[in-house]
Structure 1
Amino acid sequence: MRKEKGLLLVLSGPAGVGKGTVCSALREQETDIQYSVSATTRAPRDGEVNGINYFFKSREEFKEMIAQDRLLEWAEYVGNFYGTPIDYVQETLNNGKDIILEIEVQGALKVKERFPEGVFIFLMPPSLAELRNRIVGRGTETVDVINERMNVAKEEIDMMKNYDYVVENDQVELAVERIKSIVIAEHCKRERLIEKYKELVEVN
């Protein structure tokens, strides 16, 4: 019988909404979901490890990856490049495993152009005030950068119309449960299973 292909899950939302925290919590509970490590030119934050959190690249190295078409998507965001290496994603899906991309909104929309069968999930903050508090709480950005991120966030929230699902991150545990429910539902979709069961009928 035909092997079911894995799901490409794309999780994005405004900076500071908690994408990384939700992804980490999801992967702790759903060990079968693989995490696609993005490449970026931004500097590592405290505790981030190259090859685990991101592939940290120089601008020259990143531009070489673009030239060689080794990225599923890439975008420039607040002065830095971010992108998704394509080889690991395709290999994981072909092996029947789900993979989750935690990326910015610009990148997610580029992935949708090349991979429309993906499952696109927009992570929402409870409010813009709470989003600002979370960004300020990081202690890693200047006031000017925080203001810029908030302006970008308003534009990104308007882009949720391009997503399949919207999940509010009011509490991490609840957000994770909502995403797990989405994954279960997507695996049960007729479109994903019809060819597999056509073969079953033909065999018998």
Structure 2
Amino acid sequence: MDAQIAGDSSNLGTRIRHRRRALGLTTAEIADRAGLTADRVEHIETRPFALTGAELLRLANALDATVEDLTGPRRVVPHQPPLAPSLEPMRREECVVLLSAGTVGRIAFNGVDEIVVFPVNYRYHNDLIVFRTAADSTVAQYDLEPVAFELDHIDEGMQEGWSVLVNGTLRPATPEEATAAQVTPWAGGTRDTHMTIEPHQITGRRIQTW
């Protein structure tokens, strides 16, 4: 069985898209060369995906490239036109996929004297964000209040990235939510208090170069 290679359109997918366009080929033409469907190629270029080693090798051959060309550090091609960045909103469904795949995000809320922002390990389960904290922490006392949660990814080499923003209400997690989420915090100390963010709005933006 082929190993699954986790990918994201801000890195490997973008390299595939840039290489295809440099060759002047359509997604259908690359799909035909690689023995894939055009929908599959479009998905790989634009959305989060899992790619088998065989698919990656076939795509590299179809693009007259090596696997290292597609997965290694970005190379500057002489006389290549400058990339044009585009900031686009993401659909809620895409944001949910990214939230489900992530494990570390940032929570922001109004503290006593200032806005507080810090990272947390979390799980997105049944449309809820669940994380663990210490029982005496400030956020553990922040019951039924509005909070913001952010998850993002930046590819400095490609000058691309995405950001997902969740606005919602914070409350203690139920025992069922805590058990189902199975969150393991990286930070030391006792963090046995589970908190839940109920999303009211999920939005996202993505910067892509074309």
TM-score category, normalised to shorter length: under 0.3
The structure in which a higher percent of residues are strand is: 2
Q: Which has the larger radius of gyration?
A: 2
Q: Normalising by the residue count of structure 1, what TM-score does the alignment of the two structures yield?
A: 0.25
